[in-house]
Structure 1
Protein backbone atom coordinates (compact mmCIF):
# COMPACT_ATOMS: atom_id res chain seq x y z
CA UNK A 1 0.00 0.00 0.00
CA UNK A 2 1.22 3.47 -0.80
CA UNK A 3 1.42 6.20 1.80
CA UNK A 4 -1.35 8.79 1.54
CA UNK A 5 -0.30 12.45 1.09
CA UNK A 6 -1.97 13.21 4.44
CA UNK A 7 0.95 11.41 6.06
CA UNK A 8 2.36 14.93 6.23
CA UNK A 9 0.16 15.56 9.29
CA UNK A 10 1.68 12.65 11.16
CA UNK A 11 5.18 13.62 10.05
CA UNK A 12 4.44 17.16 11.23
CA UNK A 13 3.43 15.88 14.67
CA UNK A 14 6.60 13.83 14.88
CA UNK A 15 8.85 16.73 13.90
CA UNK A 16 6.84 19.27 15.94
CA UNK A 17 6.17 21.34 12.81
CA UNK A 18 4.12 24.19 14.30
CA UNK A 19 2.60 25.10 10.92
CA UNK A 20 1.20 21.59 10.38
CA UNK A 21 0.10 21.18 14.00
CA UNK A 22 -1.72 24.52 13.76
CA UNK A 23 -3.36 23.32 10.52
CA UNK A 24 -4.61 20.18 12.27
CA UNK A 25 -6.20 22.32 14.99
CA UNK A 26 -7.69 24.78 12.50
CA UNK A 27 -9.13 22.11 10.21
CA UNK A 28 -10.44 19.57 12.73
CA UNK A 29 -10.96 21.10 16.19
CA UNK A 30 -14.29 22.68 15.27
CA UNK A 31 -15.71 19.35 14.04
CA UNK A 32 -14.62 17.54 17.17
CA UNK A 33 -15.99 20.31 19.39
CA UNK A 34 -19.34 20.18 17.56
CA UNK A 35 -19.56 16.40 17.86
CA UNK A 36 -18.73 16.32 21.57
CA UNK A 37 -20.95 19.26 22.56
CA UNK A 38 -23.83 17.61 20.67
CA UNK A 39 -23.18 14.38 22.58
CA UNK A 40 -23.32 15.43 26.25
CA UNK A 41 -19.91 17.11 26.43
CA UNK A 42 -18.53 20.55 27.02
CA UNK A 43 -16.00 22.58 25.08
CA UNK A 44 -13.42 21.65 27.73
CA UNK A 45 -14.20 17.96 27.14
CA UNK A 46 -13.70 18.50 23.42
CA UNK A 47 -10.34 20.19 23.97
CA UNK A 48 -9.22 17.33 26.22
CA UNK A 49 -10.31 14.62 23.76
CA UNK A 50 -8.67 16.46 20.87
CA UNK A 51 -5.41 16.79 22.79
CA UNK A 52 -5.47 13.13 23.88
CA UNK A 53 -6.03 12.03 20.28
CA UNK A 54 -3.09 14.17 19.14
CA UNK A 55 -0.89 12.60 21.82
CA UNK A 56 -2.04 9.08 20.86
CA UNK A 57 -1.22 9.77 17.23
CA UNK A 58 2.19 11.09 18.18
CA UNK A 59 2.86 7.92 20.17
CA UNK A 60 1.71 5.70 17.29
CA UNK A 61 3.91 7.54 14.79
CA UNK A 62 6.95 7.66 17.03
CA UNK A 63 6.86 4.21 18.58
CA UNK A 64 4.89 2.12 16.09
CA UNK A 65 5.80 3.95 12.87
CA UNK A 66 2.18 4.51 11.86
CA UNK A 67 1.79 5.20 8.12
CA UNK A 68 -1.43 6.57 6.59
CA UNK A 69 -2.70 4.81 3.49
CA UNK A 70 -5.98 6.76 3.57
CA UNK A 71 -7.05 10.33 4.37
CA UNK A 72 -6.19 11.75 7.79
CA UNK A 73 -9.56 13.35 8.51
CA UNK A 74 -11.81 10.26 8.84
CA UNK A 75 -9.07 8.43 10.73
CA UNK A 76 -8.59 11.28 13.21
CA UNK A 77 -12.32 11.88 13.62
CA UNK A 78 -12.85 8.18 14.32
CA UNK A 79 -10.17 8.24 17.01
CA UNK A 80 -11.76 11.28 18.67
CA UNK A 81 -15.27 9.83 18.50
CA UNK A 82 -14.13 6.51 19.98
CA UNK A 83 -12.31 8.33 22.77
CA UNK A 84 -15.41 10.39 23.57
CA UNK A 85 -17.73 7.39 23.53
CA UNK A 86 -15.35 5.54 25.86
CA UNK A 87 -15.30 8.60 28.13
CA UNK A 88 -19.11 8.64 28.23
CA UNK A 89 -19.12 4.94 29.16
CA UNK A 90 -16.65 5.60 31.97
CA UNK A 91 -18.70 8.50 33.27
CA UNK A 92 -21.83 6.38 33.23
CA UNK A 93 -20.23 3.93 35.68
CA UNK A 94 -19.22 6.55 38.21
CA UNK A 95 -21.60 7.61 41.00
CA UNK A 96 -22.29 11.29 41.50
CA UNK A 97 -21.10 11.21 45.12
CA UNK A 98 -18.60 8.84 46.66
CA UNK A 99 -18.38 7.54 50.17
CA UNK A 100 -14.95 7.61 51.77
CA UNK A 101 -14.93 3.77 51.89
CA UNK A 102 -15.57 3.64 48.14
CA UNK A 103 -12.42 5.62 47.47
CA UNK A 104 -10.27 2.92 49.04
CA UNK A 105 -12.21 -0.12 47.79
CA UNK A 106 -10.60 -1.41 44.63
CA UNK A 107 -12.45 -4.63 43.94
CA UNK A 108 -12.60 -7.14 41.12
CA UNK A 109 -15.14 -4.99 39.26
CA UNK A 110 -12.46 -2.32 38.71
CA UNK A 111 -10.15 -4.88 37.14
CA UNK A 112 -13.01 -6.25 35.03
CA UNK A 113 -13.84 -2.73 33.85
CA UNK A 114 -10.19 -2.08 33.02
CA UNK A 115 -10.03 -5.34 31.08
CA UNK A 116 -13.15 -4.34 29.16
CA UNK A 117 -11.59 -0.98 28.22
CA UNK A 118 -8.46 -2.77 27.01
CA UNK A 119 -10.59 -5.13 24.92
CA UNK A 120 -12.56 -2.23 23.44
CA UNK A 121 -9.33 -0.47 22.46
CA UNK A 122 -8.05 -3.68 20.86
CA UNK A 123 -11.30 -4.02 18.92
CA UNK A 124 -11.04 -0.40 17.75
CA UNK A 125 -7.49 -1.07 16.56
CA UNK A 126 -8.63 -4.21 14.74
CA UNK A 127 -11.47 -2.25 13.14
CA UNK A 128 -9.00 0.38 11.89
CA UNK A 129 -6.76 -2.33 10.46
CA UNK A 130 -9.68 -3.85 8.58
CA UNK A 131 -10.83 -0.40 7.46
CA UNK A 132 -7.37 0.12 5.96
CA UNK A 133 -7.82 -3.05 3.87
CA UNK A 134 -10.79 -1.53 2.01
CA UNK A 135 -10.30 -0.02 -1.41
CA UNK A 136 -9.66 3.69 -1.69
CA UNK A 137 -13.22 4.47 -2.84
CA UNK A 138 -14.76 2.54 0.07
CA UNK A 139 -12.48 4.24 2.59
CA UNK A 140 -13.45 7.62 1.16
CA UNK A 141 -17.19 6.88 1.25
CA UNK A 142 -17.20 5.41 4.75
CA UNK A 143 -14.79 8.07 5.98
CA UNK A 144 -17.13 10.81 4.81
CA UNK A 145 -20.03 9.09 6.57
CA UNK A 146 -17.99 9.01 9.78
CA UNK A 147 -17.59 12.78 9.62
CA UNK A 148 -21.38 13.13 9.74
CA UNK A 149 -21.61 14.64 6.27
CA UNK A 150 -25.08 14.33 4.68
CA UNK A 151 -25.49 11.63 2.03
CA UNK A 152 -26.64 14.12 -0.56
CA UNK A 153 -23.53 16.23 -0.01
CA UNK A 154 -21.27 13.20 -0.23
CA UNK A 155 -22.85 12.13 -3.52
CA UNK A 156 -22.51 15.63 -4.94
CA UNK A 157 -18.89 15.99 -3.81
CA UNK A 158 -17.95 12.60 -5.26
CA UNK A 159 -19.81 13.22 -8.54
CA UNK A 160 -22.10 10.20 -8.19
CA UNK A 161 -25.84 9.75 -7.86
CA UNK A 162 -27.49 9.41 -4.48
CA UNK A 163 -28.70 5.91 -5.39
CA UNK A 164 -25.22 4.77 -6.43
CA UNK A 165 -23.73 6.16 -3.24
CA UNK A 166 -26.22 4.29 -1.04
CA UNK A 167 -25.58 1.05 -2.91
CA UNK A 168 -21.80 1.49 -2.77
CA UNK A 169 -21.95 2.36 0.94
CA UNK A 170 -23.88 -0.85 1.63
CA UNK A 171 -21.35 -2.88 -0.34
CA UNK A 172 -18.44 -1.25 1.49
CA UNK A 173 -20.05 -1.85 4.88
CA UNK A 174 -20.70 -5.48 3.97
CA UNK A 175 -17.07 -5.91 2.94
CA UNK A 176 -15.81 -4.25 6.11
CA UNK A 177 -18.13 -6.38 8.23
CA UNK A 178 -16.88 -9.55 6.55
CA UNK A 179 -13.26 -8.51 7.18
CA UNK A 180 -14.03 -7.82 10.83
CA UNK A 181 -15.89 -11.12 11.26
CA UNK A 182 -13.08 -13.10 9.64
CA UNK A 183 -10.54 -11.40 11.89
CA UNK A 184 -12.62 -12.11 14.99
CA UNK A 185 -12.88 -15.81 14.15
CA UNK A 186 -9.06 -15.95 13.90
CA UNK A 187 -8.67 -14.54 17.41
Structure 2
Protein backbone atom coordinates (compact mmCIF):
# COMPACT_ATOMS: atom_id res chain seq x y z
CA UNK A 1 0.00 0.00 0.00
CA UNK A 2 1.12 3.54 -0.68
CA UNK A 3 1.92 5.82 2.22
CA UNK A 4 -0.42 8.82 2.30
CA UNK A 5 1.12 12.33 2.21
CA UNK A 6 -0.50 12.96 5.61
CA UNK A 7 2.18 10.70 7.05
CA UNK A 8 3.84 14.07 7.68
CA UNK A 9 1.60 14.45 10.75
CA UNK A 10 2.96 11.27 12.28
CA UNK A 11 6.49 12.29 11.39
CA UNK A 12 5.82 15.68 12.97
CA UNK A 13 4.62 14.04 16.19
CA UNK A 14 7.69 11.79 16.28
CA UNK A 15 10.04 14.76 15.75
CA UNK A 16 8.07 16.99 18.14
CA UNK A 17 7.63 19.49 15.30
CA UNK A 18 5.73 22.27 17.08
CA UNK A 19 4.37 23.70 13.84
CA UNK A 20 2.77 20.41 12.79
CA UNK A 21 1.53 19.64 16.31
CA UNK A 22 -0.05 23.11 16.41
CA UNK A 23 -1.65 22.42 13.01
CA UNK A 24 -3.17 19.19 14.37
CA UNK A 25 -4.69 21.12 17.28
CA UNK A 26 -5.99 23.93 15.07
CA UNK A 27 -7.52 21.64 12.45
CA UNK A 28 -9.02 18.90 14.60
CA UNK A 29 -9.60 20.03 18.20
CA UNK A 30 -12.83 21.84 17.35
CA UNK A 31 -14.29 18.80 15.61
CA UNK A 32 -13.43 16.53 18.53
CA UNK A 33 -14.85 19.02 21.03
CA UNK A 34 -18.09 19.29 19.04
CA UNK A 35 -18.44 15.50 18.79
CA UNK A 36 -17.86 14.93 22.49
CA UNK A 37 -20.16 17.75 23.58
CA UNK A 38 -22.89 16.23 21.40
CA UNK A 39 -22.31 12.83 22.97
CA UNK A 40 -22.64 13.31 26.73
CA UNK A 41 -19.24 14.94 27.26
CA UNK A 42 -17.78 18.16 28.59
CA UNK A 43 -15.09 20.49 27.31
CA UNK A 44 -12.65 18.89 29.76
CA UNK A 45 -13.57 15.45 28.43
CA UNK A 46 -12.90 16.68 24.89
CA UNK A 47 -9.49 18.07 25.86
CA UNK A 48 -8.56 14.83 27.63
CA UNK A 49 -9.71 12.59 24.76
CA UNK A 50 -7.88 14.75 22.22
CA UNK A 51 -4.64 14.65 24.23
CA UNK A 52 -4.87 10.92 24.94
CA UNK A 53 -5.55 10.22 21.25
CA UNK A 54 -2.49 12.20 20.18
CA UNK A 55 -0.42 10.17 22.63
CA UNK A 56 -1.91 6.90 21.32
CA UNK A 57 -1.18 7.86 17.71
CA UNK A 58 2.35 8.91 18.69
CA UNK A 59 2.90 5.56 20.44
CA UNK A 60 1.57 3.69 17.42
CA UNK A 61 3.95 5.58 15.16
CA UNK A 62 6.93 5.15 17.46
CA UNK A 63 6.51 1.61 18.72
CA UNK A 64 4.35 -0.07 16.09
CA UNK A 65 5.69 1.74 13.00
CA UNK A 66 2.25 3.04 12.02
CA UNK A 67 2.18 4.12 8.38
CA UNK A 68 -0.82 6.09 7.10
CA UNK A 69 -2.41 4.79 3.92
CA UNK A 70 -5.38 7.13 4.32
CA UNK A 71 -5.72 10.81 5.23
CA UNK A 72 -4.79 11.69 8.82
CA UNK A 73 -8.04 13.50 9.63
CA UNK A 74 -10.54 10.64 9.33
CA UNK A 75 -8.08 8.28 10.99
CA UNK A 76 -7.51 10.61 13.94
CA UNK A 77 -11.20 11.46 14.28
CA UNK A 78 -12.04 7.78 14.38
CA UNK A 79 -9.39 7.16 17.07
CA UNK A 80 -10.91 9.96 19.17
CA UNK A 81 -14.47 8.71 18.65
CA UNK A 82 -13.56 5.16 19.63
CA UNK A 83 -11.70 6.39 22.70
CA UNK A 84 -14.74 8.45 23.72
CA UNK A 85 -17.12 5.52 23.21
CA UNK A 86 -14.88 3.40 25.43
CA UNK A 87 -14.89 6.16 28.05
CA UNK A 88 -18.69 6.33 28.00
CA UNK A 89 -18.82 2.56 28.38
CA UNK A 90 -16.44 2.70 31.35
CA UNK A 91 -18.52 5.39 33.04
CA UNK A 92 -21.60 3.25 32.57
CA UNK A 93 -23.64 6.07 31.06
CA UNK A 94 -24.55 4.22 27.94
CA UNK A 95 -24.14 0.59 27.00
CA UNK A 96 -21.99 0.05 23.95
CA UNK A 97 -23.26 -3.00 22.14
CA UNK A 98 -20.43 -3.29 19.63
CA UNK A 99 -17.14 -4.59 21.00
CA UNK A 100 -14.60 -1.87 20.36
CA UNK A 101 -11.07 -3.00 19.66
CA UNK A 102 -8.19 -1.30 21.35
CA UNK A 103 -6.29 1.25 19.27
CA UNK A 104 -3.44 -1.21 18.99
CA UNK A 105 -5.66 -3.46 16.88
CA UNK A 106 -6.04 -1.01 14.02
CA UNK A 107 -7.66 -3.06 11.32
CA UNK A 108 -9.35 -2.73 7.98
CA UNK A 109 -12.51 -1.42 9.64
CA UNK A 110 -10.63 1.73 10.66
CA UNK A 111 -9.50 2.34 7.12
CA UNK A 112 -12.96 1.59 5.71
CA UNK A 113 -14.47 4.08 8.15
CA UNK A 114 -11.77 6.60 7.25
CA UNK A 115 -12.61 6.17 3.57
CA UNK A 116 -16.28 6.81 4.37
CA UNK A 117 -15.31 10.05 6.14
CA UNK A 118 -13.28 11.07 3.07
CA UNK A 119 -16.33 10.48 0.86
CA UNK A 120 -18.52 12.50 3.22
CA UNK A 121 -15.99 15.35 3.09
CA UNK A 122 -16.07 15.22 -0.72
CA UNK A 123 -19.86 15.54 -0.59
CA UNK A 124 -19.53 18.46 1.79
CA UNK A 125 -17.05 20.07 -0.60
CA UNK A 126 -19.52 19.62 -3.47
CA UNK A 127 -22.29 21.17 -1.39
CA UNK A 128 -20.15 24.17 -0.41
CA UNK A 129 -18.95 24.73 -3.98
CA UNK A 130 -22.52 24.71 -5.29
CA UNK A 131 -23.69 26.87 -2.39
CA UNK A 132 -21.21 29.53 -3.50
CA UNK A 133 -22.92 29.64 -6.91
CA UNK A 134 -26.13 30.92 -5.32
CA UNK A 135 -26.97 34.60 -5.27
CA UNK A 136 -26.17 36.67 -2.19
CA UNK A 137 -29.81 36.82 -1.05
CA UNK A 138 -30.17 33.01 -1.26
CA UNK A 139 -26.94 32.47 0.64
CA UNK A 140 -28.04 34.92 3.32
CA UNK A 141 -31.45 33.26 3.69
CA UNK A 142 -30.07 29.73 3.82
CA UNK A 143 -27.30 30.65 6.29
CA UNK A 144 -29.82 32.39 8.52
CA UNK A 145 -32.31 29.52 8.50
CA UNK A 146 -29.60 26.97 9.28
CA UNK A 147 -28.91 28.64 12.63
CA UNK A 148 -32.02 27.06 14.13
CA UNK A 149 -33.50 30.41 15.06
CA UNK A 150 -37.25 30.88 14.62
CA UNK A 151 -38.07 31.74 11.01
CA UNK A 152 -40.40 34.54 12.09
CA UNK A 153 -37.47 36.24 13.82
CA UNK A 154 -35.19 35.64 10.82
CA UNK A 155 -37.77 37.20 8.51
CA UNK A 156 -37.94 40.24 10.78
CA UNK A 157 -34.14 40.53 10.90
CA UNK A 158 -33.91 40.30 7.09
CA UNK A 159 -36.74 42.79 6.65
CA UNK A 160 -39.03 40.41 4.76
CA UNK A 161 -42.35 38.76 5.51
CA UNK A 162 -42.50 35.27 6.97
CA UNK A 163 -44.30 34.00 3.85
CA UNK A 164 -41.66 35.50 1.56
CA UNK A 165 -38.87 33.94 3.64
CA UNK A 166 -40.43 30.47 3.44
CA UNK A 167 -41.06 30.75 -0.32
CA UNK A 168 -37.58 32.13 -1.04
CA UNK A 169 -35.91 29.51 1.16
CA UNK A 170 -37.75 26.78 -0.76
CA UNK A 171 -36.69 28.27 -4.11
CA UNK A 172 -33.08 28.63 -2.97
CA UNK A 173 -32.95 25.03 -1.74
CA UNK A 174 -34.42 23.81 -5.04
CA UNK A 175 -31.79 25.76 -6.97
CA UNK A 176 -29.00 24.43 -4.75
CA UNK A 177 -30.21 20.84 -5.14
CA UNK A 178 -30.39 21.23 -8.91
CA UNK A 179 -26.78 22.49 -8.94
CA UNK A 180 -25.67 19.51 -6.86
CA UNK A 181 -27.59 16.99 -8.99
CA UNK A 182 -26.08 18.46 -12.18
CA UNK A 183 -22.58 17.90 -10.74
CA UNK A 184 -23.26 14.29 -9.79
CA UNK A 185 -24.25 13.24 -13.32
Deviation at residue 19 of structure 1 after TM alignment: 0.6
Aligned residue runs from structure 1 range 88-107, under 5 A? 88-92=88-92
Aligned residue runs from structure 1 range 66-81, under 5 A? 66-81=66-81
Deviation at residue 143 of structure 1 after TM alignment: 1.6
- Give TM-score scaled by structure 1 length: 0.59
Deviation at residue 14 of structure 1 after TM alignment: 0.5
Deviation at residue 57 of structure 1 after TM alignment: 0.4
In the alignment, the residues of structure 2 paired with residue 124 and residue 163 of structure 1 have an alpha-carbon distance, to the nearest angstrom, of: 43
In the alignment, the residues of structure 1 paired with residue 71 and residue 89 of structure 2 have an alpha-carbon distance, to the nearest angstrom, of: 28
Larger Rg: 2
Q: Which residue of 2 aligns with 1:120?
A: 100
Runs (4+) off by over 3 Å: 122-126, 154-165
| Number of aligned residue pairs | 133
Q: Which residue of 2 aligns with 1:36?
A: 36
Contact 2:60 2:66 in 1 (8 A): yes
Which of 100, 113, 117 lines up with 1:143 in the alignment?
Answer: 117
Aligned residue runs from structure 1 range 42-57, under 5 A? 42-57=42-57
The root-mean-square deviation of aligned C-alpha atoms, in Å, is 3.5
Residues 7, 88 of structure 1: alpha-carbon distance in 2 compared, 3 angstrom cutoff: same
Structure 1 residue ranges without an equivalent (≥5): 95-115, 166-187
Residues 35, 130 of structure 1: alpha-carbon distance in 2 compared, 3 angstrom cutoff: closer
Residues 59, 162 of structure 1: alpha-carbon distance in 2 compared, 3 angstrom cutoff: farther
Structure 2 residue ranges without an equivalent (≥5): 131-178
Question: 1:121 aligns to what SS in structure 2?
Answer: coil
Q: Which residue of 1 aligns with 2:13?
A: 13
Residues 130, 84 of structure 1: alpha-carbon distance in 2 compared, 3 angstrom cutoff: closer
Q: Which residue of 2 aligns with 1:22?
A: 22
Residues 54, 139 of structure 1: alpha-carbon distance in 2 compared, 3 angstrom cutoff: closer
Q: Which residue of 1 aligns with 2:124?
A: 153
Q: Report the structure, 1 or 2, having the larger helix content.
A: 1
In the alignment, the residues of structure 1 paired with residue 14 and residue 62 of structure 2 have an alpha-carbon distance, to the nearest angstrom, of: 7
Contact 1:155 1:162 in 2 (8 A): no
Is 1:129 the counterpart of 2:94? The answer is no
In the alignment, the residues of structure 2 paired with residue 20 and residue 34 of structure 1 have an alpha-carbon distance, to the nearest angstrom, of: 22
Contact 1:4 1:68 in 2 (8 A): yes
